[in-house]
């Protein structure tokens, strides 16, 4: 009996030593600081907290409430997106705690309108560039390089048109007018772009990389933090708040030739396909930007009509694991780009030959 009791005691001790015990095992204290104007970033903050688990210490605060970050082992910084960046207040916060943040585990997440991380924005006065989701963090990562986030997220958000102030309303209208690929929010009172799987993937990464915990298998039960009964439009009940961008698309207009596609594989497979296709069809491929989840190229080729550039992006998205996505864009006039369009068709054939993915 005595030796049995000792055995049981020993097993219990081993269990406590080696099995993760939530906050007890990791013992890390976190701060989630949010900066929001219209509420989405706050909603996602409490959603992330729930996903990380109430048993794990995580203070959630608005940016002006933070007087010190000293007590915390890790800091999650959540911001809305303005002009393709986190807000000025978020920059000021990171600058203020620059030294301490560079010595702590930091995570960044953004709520934003555009979530497609293969998206290129080409508007007058600016060089065409990569935007959407996590891409809106490029600037803060370059400006404050000592702060190296261990987890990043670009969730999407919610825009409630009638509540926008006059200046914001005007700016949103202007962006819609400049958009070459349409404005998803037009005609809606509430427009949503948030991808729930991204919030869940972000929180699971925090659990894994910072707290040493496994991913939540029951993440979907927390989507109520986001869901609302309010309709997309007060005038038209048929309209939807959330219209995800299609993974497979081809449109050719006066303003743009745009192709979106995907295949099974990872980013390395996507890049290999683009590199082979460009070599075979005589493009010179110039890498513009590369991250762990996407790569943006200019594929340039000389035709009779002159030198034409195709903007190509290969990307993996948190909500679609196991697949790699592509976008191709050209902004020349249709009569000039005829031959380019044929070369692009060959890229599509290669992608399709690599295995199609059900929509």
Ligand X SMILES: Cc1cc2nc3c(=O)[nH]c(=O)nc-3n(C[C@H](O)[C@H](O)[C@H](O)COP(=O)(O)O)c2cc1C
Q: Footprint of ligand X on this chain (CB under 6 A)? A: 36-41, 80-84, 111-114, 157-159, 164, 168, 171-172
**Looking at beta carbons, which residue is closest to ligand X?**
157
Instruction: Report the Cα 7 to chain-centroid distance in Å.
Output: 50
Q: Residue with structure tokens 């048993």?
A: 55
Q: What is the DSSP letter of 318?
A: T
Strand-pairing partners, residue 268, are none
Q: How far is the CB of 246 from ligand X (least distance, A)?
A: 18
Q: How far is the CB of 113 from ligand X (least distance, A)?
A: 3
Nearer to ligand X, 31 or 137 (CB): 137
Nearer to ligand X, 82 or 250 (CB): 82
Nearer to ligand X, 116 or 343 (CB): 116
Q: How far is the CB of 69 from ligand X (least distance, A)?
A: 21
| Rounded CA Rg of the chain | 23
Nearer to ligand X, 132 or 265 (CB): 132
- Which two three-digit tokens encode residue 199? 């919030």
Nearer to ligand X, 196 or 270 (CB): 196
Q: How far is the CB of 177 from ligand X (least distance, A)?
A: 14
CB count, 10 Å around CB of 117? 24
d(CA 207, CA 53): 9
Contact yes or no for 155/199 (Cβ under 8 A): yes
Instruction: Report the Cα 173 to chain-centroid distance in Å.
Output: 23
Instruction: Report the Cα 102 to chain-centroid distance in Å.
Output: 23
Q: Name which of 298, 293, 304 is nearest 274 in CA terms.
A: 298
Q: How far is the CB of 227 from ligand X (least distance, A)?
A: 16
Q: How far is the CB of 110 from ligand X (least distance, A)?
A: 7
Quote the Cα angle for 253-334-270, to 5°.
Answer: 75
Nearer to ligand X, 66 or 300 (CB): 66
């Amino acid at each position: 009996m005595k030796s049995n009791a000792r055995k049981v005691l020993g097993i219990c001790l081993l269990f406590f030593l080696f099995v993760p015990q939530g906050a007890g095992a990791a013992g890390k204290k976190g701060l989630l600081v949010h900066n929001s104007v219209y509420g989405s970033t706050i909603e996602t903050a409490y959603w992330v907290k729930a996903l990380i688990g109430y048993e794990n210490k995580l203070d959630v605060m608005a940016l002006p409430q933070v007087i010190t970050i000293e007590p915390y082992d890790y800091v999650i910084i959540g911001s809305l997106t303005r002009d393709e960046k986190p807000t000025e207040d978020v920059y000021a916060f990171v600058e203020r705690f620059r030294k301490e943040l560079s010595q702590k585990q930091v995570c960044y997440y953004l709520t934003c309108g555009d979530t497609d991380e293969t998206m290129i924005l080409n508007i007058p006065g600016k060089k065409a560039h990569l935007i959407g989701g996590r891409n809106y963090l490029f600037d803060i990562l370059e400006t404050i390089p000592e702060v190296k986030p261990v987890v990043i997220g670009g969730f999407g958000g919610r825009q409630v048109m009638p509540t926008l102030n006059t200046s914001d309303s005007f700016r949103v209208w202007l962006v819609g007018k400049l958009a070459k690929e349409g404005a998803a929010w037009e005609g809606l009172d509430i427009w949503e772009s948030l991808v729930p799987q991204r919030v869940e993937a972000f929180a699971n990464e925090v659990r894994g990389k910072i707290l040493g915990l496994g991913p939540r298998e029951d993440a979907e039960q927390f989507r109520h933090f986001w869901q609302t009964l309010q309709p997309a439009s007060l005038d038209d009940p048929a309209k939807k708040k959330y219209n995800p961008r299609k993974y497979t698309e081809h449109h050719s207009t006066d303003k743009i030739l745009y192709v979106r596609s995907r295949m099974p594989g990872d980013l390395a497979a996507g890049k290999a396909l683009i590199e082979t296709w460009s070599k075979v069809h005589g493009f010179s491929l110039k890498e513009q930007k590369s991250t762990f989840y996407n790569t943006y190229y200019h594929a340039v080729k000389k035709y009779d009509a002159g030198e034409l550039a195709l903007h190509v992006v290969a990307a993996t998205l948190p909500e679609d694991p196991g697949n790699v996505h592509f976008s191709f864009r050209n902004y020349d006039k249709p009569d000039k780009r005829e031959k380019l369009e044929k070369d692009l068709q060959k890229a599509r054939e290669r992608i399709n030959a690599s295995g199609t993915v059900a929509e």
